[in-house]
Amino acid sequence: MTGDLVTGHPQGEDPATEHADTGRASGPAPGSAPTEPATTHFGFAQVPAAEKARRVASVFSSVAPSYDRMNDVLSGGLHRLWKSFAVRQAQVRPGMRVLDVAGGTGDLARAFARQVGADGQVILTDINNEMLTEGRDRLLDQGLPVASVLCDAEQLPFADASFDRVIVSFGLRNMTHKDRALAAMTRVLRPGGQLLVLEFSRIWAPLAPLYDAYSLNVMPWLGERIAGDGDSYRYLAESIRMHPPQEELAAMMRTAGLVRVLWFNFAAGICALHVGVRP
């Protein structure tokens, strides 16, 4: 893995391999239902799969008021650069329909709302009412006409093939059935539409001990000191470690039915932007 910062070279499939990739993606149709595991991870702990969503909800209800400030502190502001790269990469144009999944406090929905214009539409969604309310209120305060919908990414209440872009930013790793969420997000994309997944990823191996020491010790400590909630930030650090690395997530996106899947590494792979196209 290379250590590209923000404007990394895309990795994964060369667009020239589109036809080969289209062939491999011919297994499950976009939106097909994968199988149910009995347990799953919640940070480093194994919990019943049915319990994870409740625990994740409690984390985000707790961190909602301090979420944006903590993001700036913990990433040294880098998350803003990563998000703005994702927004540029999405190439949203006037008139497009854009779905921000697990959109939380609405950073991306805000950027897209300015790009789609009066003829387009942006919908902000989240499973957590506190996070969605923070995002919705902020967008309304800024005069941005963004609809907000409380829903689970694994069961999106939108018609097939109804969006030009679907984006999920720092949300996928919290989902119980990532395969179902990827299938649902693919299902609602129009042919030619793009899914963008911005998420913490696997850091370049030589830097892993340093990053582990920071994320597993300093992050919970800062969470306790600044937000009074070390446990939630311990979960967030552990969930980063449990998230599939770059190649594995790309394979999951192909299984969901996407083609031309590639990714960009940021900060030596601390974070990655994956992009795939619905054929």
What mask, x for binding ligand SAM by CB under 6 A, covers residues 67 to 106?
-----------------------------------xxxx-
Near ligand SAM by CB under 6 A: residue from 8, 97, 121, 126 = 126
**Angle at CA 184, nearest 5°, toward 12 and 182?**
30
The answer to whether residue 127 forms part of the interface with ligand SAM (CB under 6 A) is yes
Q: Determine the Cα–Cα distance for residues 277 and 131; give it in Å rounded to an integer.
A: 28
- Check: CB of residue 258 under 8 Å from CB of residue 183: no
Cβ at position 168, least distance to ligand SAM in Å = 7
Among 150, 138, 183, which Cα is nearest to 60's?
A: 150
Q: Which amino acid is at 109?
A: A
What mask, x for binding ligand SAM by CB under 6 A, covers residues 45 to 74?
-----------x---x--------------
Near ligand SAM by CB under 6 A: residue from 40, 62, 121, 169 = 169
Q: Of the two residues 139 and 259, which places its CB atom closer to ligand SAM in the complex?
A: 139
Among 263, 267, 254, 279, which Cα is nearest to 89's?
A: 263
HSE value, Cβ hemisphere, 13 Å, CA-based, for 144: 26
**Angle at CA 110, nearest 5°, toward 167 and 175?**
35
Which residue minimizes CB distance to ligand SAM?
A: 104
Summarize as ranges the residues that interact with ligand SAM (CB under 6 A).
Answer: 56, 60, 102-105, 107, 126-128, 131, 152-154, 169-171, 174-175
